[in-house]
A and B are shown apart, each in its own frame.
Chain A
Amino acid sequence: DAMVIQNPRYQVTQFGKPVTLSCSQTLNHNVMYWYQQKSSQAPKLLFHYYDKDFNNEADTPDNFQSRRPNTSFCFLDIRSPGLGDAAMYLCATSRDVTSVFHNEQFFGPGTRLTVL
């Protein structure tokens, strides 16, 4: 089945130690998103890629970076994690954002990040 895969499902890091979360997709979608979701809150968009075009949200901290080496993979890098960065990180994809009929987002299962 075509899907969005996130690894690892659970990640523990230390305060200030860089960490990378990964996302891959077999849907061949050209748009990939990273969201941060804290407990009992709505997902918050950090940034998205339209093909190789990177789009950062204005309020995304500089501590968060992303890479998309090819269509299938996208990475979230947290350069110096703080305690406040502990959250679920969700990756999502969509096929074609030029049409209202194709803008459904498909989510991966998420990576839960713990910062010690």
Chain B
Amino acid sequence: GDSVTQMEGPVTLSEEAFLTINCTYTATGYPSLFWYVQYPGEGLQLLLKATKADDKGSNKGFEATYRKETTSFHLEKGSVQVSDSAVYFCALSEPYNFNKFYFGSGTKLNVKP
């Protein structure tokens, strides 16, 4: 079945460091891919998304490219800030059942000043 695998955390970085959080997926066809962010005590917020191969989603300095050949959707940011500390979830929705989302287990990011 469909699934999402993302790197385990926590990831601890210093401010202004480069961030990569790996995400790979298993799906039939061409799913839509998402990154959601969850700040402490809050719900999930959409960070970015991509709906077809080679699309690049971007928002607030974060980027991720839909790579069909490697079934990946890695999240990157060139210079993290303390305010980026949160849990990041990679997710996919099925191409034939758009309301069904599969979430990865989440990666906690800690950014130190």
- List chain A positions with a Cβ less than 8 A from chain B: 4, 6, 31, 33, 40-43, 45, 48, 50, 55, 90, 92, 94, 97-101, 103-110
- Known pairs A94-B99, A101-B51, A103-B98; A42 contacts B104 (CB<8 A): yes
Q: Which residues of A contact B36 (CB under 8 A)?
A: 107
Looking at the complex, which one of A41, A48, A104, A109 makes contact with B42 (CB distance below 8 Å)? Answer: A109
Residues of chain B within 8 A (CB-CB) of A92 are 43-44
Chain A residues with CB below 8 A from B46, complex form: 104-106
A100 and B43 contact, CB distance less than 8 A: no
- In the bound complex, residues from chain B placing their C-beta under 8 Å from that of A33 are 99
Chain A residue numbers with a CB within 8 Å of B104 are 42
12 of the cross-chain contacts (CB-CB < 8 Å) are A6-B43, A40-B105, A41-B105, A42-B89, A42-B106, A43-B44, A45-B100, A90-B44, A100-B98, A103-B93, A104-B49, A107-B45
Instruction: Assess A50 versus B105: contact at CB under 8 Å? Given A103-B93, A110-B43.
Output: no
Q: Is B24 an interface residue (CB 8 A)?
A: no
